Amino acid sequence: MANHKSAIKRIRQSEKRRLHNRYYAKTMRSTLRKFRALDNKEEAAAMIPTLQKMLDKLAKRNIIHWKKAANLKSGAMLRVAKLA
């Protein structure tokens, strides 16, 4: 266990941030799962802007890596293009 006041505060802060980041990462994964389950091109195309916005925000706040966000967005665009 930490002995200094500042170390105790750092543990509290990091736990709070960890839970915050976990929540948003889980939300992102759920949204991606819903997106990948879509079979209709119009619905998928309508969902793209919200998905991109979410990924950009998470990358900006360092919850996910910016290259991961870029890869997910690219994959989403390819998926929409392949839908009939």
**Amino acid occupying residue 65:** H
| Structural domains counted in the chain | 1
Tokens 């992102």 found at: 28
Length of the chain: 84
CATH code at 70?
1.20.58.110
Tell me the residue range of the domain where 41 lies: 5-82
Q: With beta carbons less than 8 A apart as the criterion, state whether 30 and 58 touch.
A: no
Q: With beta carbons less than 8 A apart as the criterion, state whether 73 and 51 touch.
A: yes
Q: What is the pTM of this model?
A: 0.83
Nearest Cα to 25, choosing from 50, 70, 67, 55?
55
What pLDDT is stored for residue 80 in this prediction?
95
Model confidence pLDDT, tens digit, residues 14-59: 999 999 999 999 999 999 999 999 999 999 999 999 999 999 999 9
